[in-house]
Structure 1
Amino acid sequence: MRTIQAAALTDAVAKLCIQANTHLPEDIVAALDATRQGEPWPLAKETLGLLWENMELAEEKNLPVCQDTGMACVFVELGQDVHIEGNFEEAIHQGVRKGYGEGFLRKSIVGDPLRRVNTEDNTPAAITVRLVPGDGCKVTVAPKGFGSENMSRLGMLKPADGVEGVKKFVVETVKLAGSNPCPPIVLGIGIGGSFDKVAYLAKHALLRPIDQRNPDPFYADLERELLREINALGIGPQGFGGQTTCLGLSIETAPTHVAGLPVAVNVSCHVTRRATAEL
């Protein structure tokens, strides 16, 4: 049994909160670079150039790449042979509190969904824990702004809707979102499971680098097909038109009931943020 001090978890989460908000992942940077060079529509190309400049300045000056520094979504893969010495959840909340304070990041969390009083430290975090074999602890912080989160959708389709129904739902989600989520966007798509599980699948899919296809060839082909259809919509960067509406998308699936076909689409903007550390 390996012991990890809660304080070490707090420090890791604090650093990841700052890193995720100021430095985009390599796969997102590469996709933005490729699209800004390949986009043929002049206004879209200019817009992508401005987004690229914003990203470079954020990294150079260690400033947030987006003014909405998001809800801190913390994903933990916790080894079953690990013991956390101290309060596990409070250690994560304290890490968010510390990171958003030391990083001078905008605090956006309200303690009650209807009474709307800001907690003033961006806590509590949204914590998801998965137990895995071994004695490691992998922590990923993925801040999620709500300009894009609000455009996400979940549908309980019928099995008879099949793959065409899933494609229609995903493309319709992007159409309805339009320019609201600050495209170009990134999509996490969940298929299967239950009402609650499919939403998790969609959010978790955003953690996979967009240059890595689903290991199942059937779903890898579906990812490519959906990406082509979405970029053919012509919404373009910030809604100004062009062929760059979506930088990439990832699909995650789970077994489901014979009578169901849950589908969820988690929409993220071009500043899809995530940072990972292993303790």
Structure 2
Amino acid sequence: MREVPAELITETVARLAIEATHFLPEDVEGAIRAARQTERSPLAVQIIDEILENAQVARERMLPLCQDTGTAVVILEIGQDVHITGGYVIDAVNEGIRRGYSEGYLRKSIAARPFSARVNTGDNTPGVIHTEIVPGDRIKVMFMPKGGGCENMSRYQNFLPGMGKQAVIDFVCETVDMSGGNPCPPLVIGVGVGGTAEKAMTMAKHALFRKIGERSPDPEVAELEQELLQAVNELGVGPQAVGGSTTALDVFVETYPTHITALPVAVNIQCHSARTKQAVI
């Protein structure tokens, strides 16, 4: 049994919060640069150039990539041979969020009572925290500051099982088309298919942590990802919805076995500022 102090989790989350909000991942920036070379619309190219300039300014001047520094989404993959000492793991994560958003001078966006007073909690806590027990003696910490504009475009629907793959493609395309410029395209799109309602939504969010160009190890799912990416880009929404051939940088799909009566499909959209950071403790 390996002991991990709760304070180390706190320090890691705080660091990831600052890094994620200031530094665009290399794979995302690389995909945006590649899209500039293939984009057909002059106005879309101008938007892409502004996105790249924004990433450079954020990196060089240590400024947030976007004023919306989001809901702090944290996924913990905790090895079954780990014993966390010195505090409760959820408290440790929230303290890391609190420190990161304070030390990084990041906007606090969390309203304590969602349907009434909506008073700001003042420190961007509590985070949305998912935990999973996995083999081993390490803890993988995945951090995503999820902006409101893209998160608000999330959708879920349960289709008749016989509707199959085409229902998934049509639903994803419909979701992107309806979203327009709200999620700040070009997008990274996570799709969860199968399980139950909450499982599908969780898979769609989890999929967003993959690197651009990383295909599913399942050949059938990988083929669906490619079909979805092509179909979404054929919509012509384009960067910031000004039109163009670059609506999405990538589409990631996760699947899970489901009940014979169901075909659950969830879509979670990430904006062009696809901010994620990971660390292993």
Task: Give TM-score scaled by structure 2 length.
Answer: 0.98
Question: Which residue matches 1:29?
Answer: 29
Distance, in Å, in 1 between the alignment partners of 2:47 and 2:10 is 38
Listed one character per residue, the Cα deviations across residues 185-225 of structure 1 (whole Å, up to 9, x for unaligned) are 11000000001110001000101112100111111111111
Distance, in Å, in 1 between the alignment partners of 2:203 and 2:140 is 18
2:263 to 261, 264, 271: 261
Listed one character per residue, the Cα deviations across residues 82-122 of structure 1 (whole Å, up to 9, x for unaligned) are 01111111010000000000000000001111120100100
Question: Which residue matches 1:183?
Answer: 185
Question: Which residue matches 1:137?
Answer: 139
Cα displacement (A) at 1:166: 1.0
Question: Which residue matches 2:98?
Answer: 97
1:66-215 equivalences under 5 Å are: 66-85=66-85, 86-114=87-115, 115-215=117-217
Distance, in Å, in 1 between the alignment partners of 2:212 and 2:222 is 11
Aligned length: 279
Distance, in Å, in 1 between the alignment partners of 2:132 and 2:197 is 19
CA RMSD of aligned residues (A): 0.7
Question: Which residue matches 1:219?
Answer: 221
Instruction: For 1:112, give the aligned amino acid.
Output: R
Cα displacement (A) at 1:54: 0.3
Q: Return 5+ residue gaps in structure 1 as ranges.
A: none
Listed one character per residue, the Cα deviations across residues 133-190 of structure 1 (whole Å, up to 9, x for unaligned) are 1110110111100100111100011101111111111110011101111111110000
Distance, in Å, in 2 between the alignment partners of 1:61 and 1:193 is 44
Distance, in Å, in 2 between the alignment partners of 1:252 and 1:261 is 13
Q: Return 5+ residue gaps in structure 2 as ranges.
A: none
Task: Give TM-score scaled by structure 1 length.
Answer: 0.99
Distance, in Å, in 1 between the alignment partners of 2:46 and 2:98 is 37
Question: Which residue matches 1:11?
Answer: 11
Q: Secondary structure at the match of 2:69?
A: coil
Instruction: For 2:8, give the aligned amino acid.
Output: A
